[in-house]
Amino acid sequence: MASPRKAMVELGMEVLCLLCDASDEPGQKRCSTCISTHRSLRQTLKSMPEKSRVRAWGEMMIRYITNPQLYDHEPIHGKVLGEYVEMVKETKPEIPITQKDVDMAFTLAEQRKIEQVIEPPPRHQRPDGNLSEQELERRKAALPQPNLDHLGSRTIPSKKIGEADRSDRTGEDRHAVDRAVAAAGNKESLEEEVEKVVLDREIERLALDISLDLDDQTLD
């Protein structure tokens, strides 16, 4: 097992050094070749089409190596990746977290929150920053006023619109729907009761139509 080289650590591939049988002697050609090969490999994958299966497979392998802790639960490679995690962990000394570290983390988080707050620019940096209050009011008064007269009014057709023929549209046949509703509410399916419900529903619709006609006349 060789000690991780700095370049491989920067690439996130220090586990390959831990699996290598090279000595720790610096400046070895073997290490230089390995580093340059993995750098060029990444560039080659990036140059491939996004939907290339080779690129997808290669990038997945790189993710396995650079972040094994994220995939150690994977059913096929999880066991090996878990071993990678332990190998890398042994090369890094455990530094205990102090209260100072915790306070610093909270301080940095608060600073990021403050930086993310979006505030309007100062008055002198706005396009209208040099205008007086009187000029602003004058420009505001010169803006066109919206026409609100038509809002909320109904569309009144110029001609009487005839009733649509629903005979070929079963789902829109009011008479058929009325009979279905009446039959559903009348378990004994008495014809007289069904006809009575159908007639009541027709009367209700007629009353509604008359009411709408009166509203139209009022609007006229």
pLDDT in tens, 125-170: 555 566 677 877 887 888 877 766 666 656 667 777 777 766 666 5
Alpha-carbon gap, residue 202 to 174, rounded angstroms:
9
Cβ within 8 Å of residue 34, ≥6 positions away: 8, 16, 20
The single-letter code of the amino acid at 6 is K
Alpha-carbon gap, residue 116 to 65, rounded angstroms:
34
pLDDT at residue 128 in the model = 58
pLDDT at residue 6 in the model = 84
Position 204 confidence tier, pLDDT thresholds 50, 70, 90? confident
Bigger pLDDT: 217 or 173? 173
The 8-class DSSP code of residue 51 comes to T
The single-letter code of the amino acid at 10 is E
Mean pLDDT for the stretch of residues 105-130: 64
Mean pLDDT for the stretch of residues 8-18: 85
Position 120 confidence tier, pLDDT thresholds 50, 70, 90? low
Alpha-carbon gap, residue 175 to 118, rounded angstroms:
61
Position 19 confidence tier, pLDDT thresholds 50, 70, 90? confident
Helices (H), the chain: 6-11, 14-19, 29-47, 53-66, 78-91, 99-116, 133-142, 174-185, 191-219
